[in-house]
Amino acid sequence: MDFFNLVTVDEGRTKMLQVFKDYNFGTEEISLINSTNRILSASIISKENVPEFNRSTVDGYAIKSSDSHGASESMPTFLSLMGEVKMGENAETRISSGEATYVPTGGMIPAGADAVIMIENVEKLDDSTLLIYKPLSYGENIILKGDDIKEGEKIIDKGKRLTPQDIGVLASLGLQSIKVYKKPRFFIISTGDEIVDIDVEPALGKIRDINSYSLFSLIQNLGGEVVGRTIVQDNFGLLRDCVDKALDISDIVLISGGSSVGTRDYTSKVIDSFNGKGVFVHGVSIKPGKPTIIGEGKGKAIFGLPGHPVSSIIIFKVFVEHFINKLIDIKENQNKTTAIMDFNFPSSPGRETYQMVKIIEREGKTYATPVFGKSGMISLLSKSDGYIIIEPQEEGIYKGEERDIYLL
Ligand SMILES: Nc1nc2c(c(=O)[nH]1)N[C@H]1C(S)=C(S)[C@@H](COP(=O)(O)OP(=O)(O)OC[C@H]3O[C@@H](n4cnc5c(N)ncnc54)[C@H](O)[C@@H]3O)O[C@H]1N2
Ligand code: MOO
- Do residues 126 and 216 share a domain? no
Mind listing the pLDDT tens digit for each residue in 141-173? 999 999 999 999 999 999 999 999 999 999 999
Identify the CATH number of the domain in which residue 345 sits.
Answer: 2.40.340.10
Tell me, yes or no, whether 2 lies in a domain: no
With a cut of 50, list the residues of the chain below it in pLDDT. 1-2
- CA of 261 from ligand 2 middle (Å) equals 13
Identify the CATH number of the domain in which residue 174 sits.
Answer: 3.90.105.10
- CA of 267 from ligand 1 middle (Å) equals 12
- Do residues 222 and 280 share a domain? yes
Q: Which atom of ligand 1 is nearest to the CA of 4?
A: 7
Q: Which of 285, 310, 315, 355 most suits a substitution to test ligand 2, by most atoms within 8 Å of the C-beta?
A: 310
Phi-psi region of 132 (alpha: psi -120 to 50; beta: other; left: phi over 0): beta
Q: What is the pLDDT of residue 1?
A: 37
- CA of 306 from ligand 2 middle (Å) equals 7
Ligand at minimal distance from the CA of 212 is 1
- Do residues 358 and 263 share a domain? no
Q: What is the pLDDT of residue 4?
A: 80
Tell me, yes or no, whether 150 lies in a domain: no
- Do residues 32 and 176 share a domain? yes
- Do residues 167 and 35 share a domain? yes
ipTM score of complex:
0.96
Q: Which of 260, 265, 287, 318 most suits a substitution to test ligand 2, by most atoms within 8 Å of the C-beta?
A: 287
- Do residues 161 and 300 share a domain? no
Ligand at minimal distance from the CA of 257 is 1
Tell me, yes or no, whether 148 lies in a domain: no
Ligand at minimal distance from the CA of 318 is 2
Identify the CATH number of the domain in which residue 91 sits.
Answer: 2.170.190.11
**First-last CA distance in the chain:** 34
- Do residues 362 and 401 share a domain? yes
Rounded to whole angstroms, the Cα distance separating 196 from 191 reads 10
Report residues whose beta carbon is within 6 angstroms of any ligand 2 atom: 287-290, 306, 308, 311, 375
Q: Could you say which of 309, 327, 345 is where a domain stops?
A: 327
Tell me, yes or no, whether 266 lies in a domain: yes
Tell me, yes or no, whether 151 lies in a domain: no
Q: What is the pLDDT of residue 3?
A: 67
Domain that holds residue 117: 55-143
Q: Which of 256, 267, 290 most suits a substitution to test ligand 2, by most atoms within 8 Å of the C-beta?
A: 290
- Do residues 174 and 236 share a domain? no
- CA of 374 from ligand 2 middle (Å) equals 8
Q: How many domains does the chain have?
A: 4
Tell me, yes or no, whether 107 lies in a domain: yes
- Do residues 320 and 201 share a domain? yes
Identify the CATH number of the domain in which residue 210 sits.
Answer: 3.40.980.10
Q: Which atom of ligand 1 is nearest to the CA of 212?
A: 35
- CA of 293 from ligand 1 middle (Å) equals 13
Q: Which atom of ligand 1 is nearest to the CA of 304?
A: 19
Tell me, yes or no, whether 259 lies in a domain: yes
- CA of 257 from ligand 1 middle (Å) equals 6
- CA of 388 from ligand 2 middle (Å) equals 16
Q: Could you say which of 276, 295, 327 is where a domain stops?
A: 327
Q: Could you say which of 327, 344, 379 is where a domain stops?
A: 327
Q: Which atom of ligand 2 is nearest to the CA of 287?
A: 1
- Do residues 220 and 163 share a domain? no
Q: Is 258 in the pocket of ligand 1 (CB under 6 A)?
A: yes
- Do residues 121 and 34 share a domain? no
Q: Which atom of ligand 1 is nearest to the CA of 265?
A: 20
- Do residues 394 and 298 share a domain? no
Which protein residue has the closest C-alpha to ligand 1 atom 16? 306
Q: What is the 3-state secondary structure (H, E, C) of the chain?
A: CCCCCCECHHHHHHHHHHHCCCCCCCEEEEEHHHCCCCEECCCEECCCCECCCCEECCCEEEECHHHHCCCCCCCCEEEEEEEECCCCCCCCCECCCCEEEEECCCCECCECCCEEEEHHHEEEEECCEEEECCCCCCCCCEECCCCCECCCCEEECCCCECCHHHHHHHHHCCCCEEEEECCCEEEEEEECCCEECCCCCCCCCCEECCHHHHHHHHHHHHCCEEEEEEEECCCHHHHHHHHHHHHHHCCEEEEECCCCCCCCCCHHHHHHCCCCCEEEEECECEECCCCCEEEEECCEEEEEECCCHHHHHHHHHHHHHHHHHHHCCCCCCCCEEEEEECCCEECCCCCEEEEEEEEEEECCEEEEEECCCCCCCCHHHHCCCEEEEECCCCCEECCCCEEEEEEC
Tell me, yes or no, whether 291 lies in a domain: yes
